[in-house]
Amino acid sequence: MESADNVFDTYDGTTQLSEAETALLKDELRKTEEEIQTLKQVLLARQKHASELKRKLGLNPLVELGNDINKGLKAVTDTEAFQKTTEVAAATADTVKHKWNDMRNSSLFKSFESKLGTAYSSVSETVIFTLLSWVAISFIELAALFHAAL
Give 146's pLDDT tier (boundaries 50, 70, 90): low
Integer CA distances (angstroms), 150 to 138, 139, 140, 141, 146, in order: 19, 17, 16, 15, 7
Integer CA distances (angstroms), 23 to 16, 87, 115, in order: 13, 70, 99
Beta carbons within 10 angstroms of residue 54's beta carbon: 14
In this predicted structure, which of 20-24, 93-97, 107-111 has the lowest mean pLDDT?
A: 107-111
Q: Is the pLDDT of residue 19 over 70?
A: yes
Predicted local distance difference test score (pLDDT) of residue 38? 97
Domain-by-domain residue ranges, the chain?
1-73
User: Residues 27-58: pLDDT tens digits?
Assistant: 999 999 999 999 999 999 999 999 999 889 88
Predicted local distance difference test score (pLDDT) of residue 1? 47
**Residue ranges of the alpha helices (H) in the chain?**
4-10, 19-57, 61-77, 80-104, 107-149
Instruction: Measure CA of the first residue to CA of the last residue in the chain; give whole Å.
Output: 127
Q: Is the pLDDT of residue 15 over 50?
A: yes
User: Residues 54-98: pLDDT tens digits?
Assistant: 889 888 888 888 888 989 988 888 999 888 888 888 888 888 888
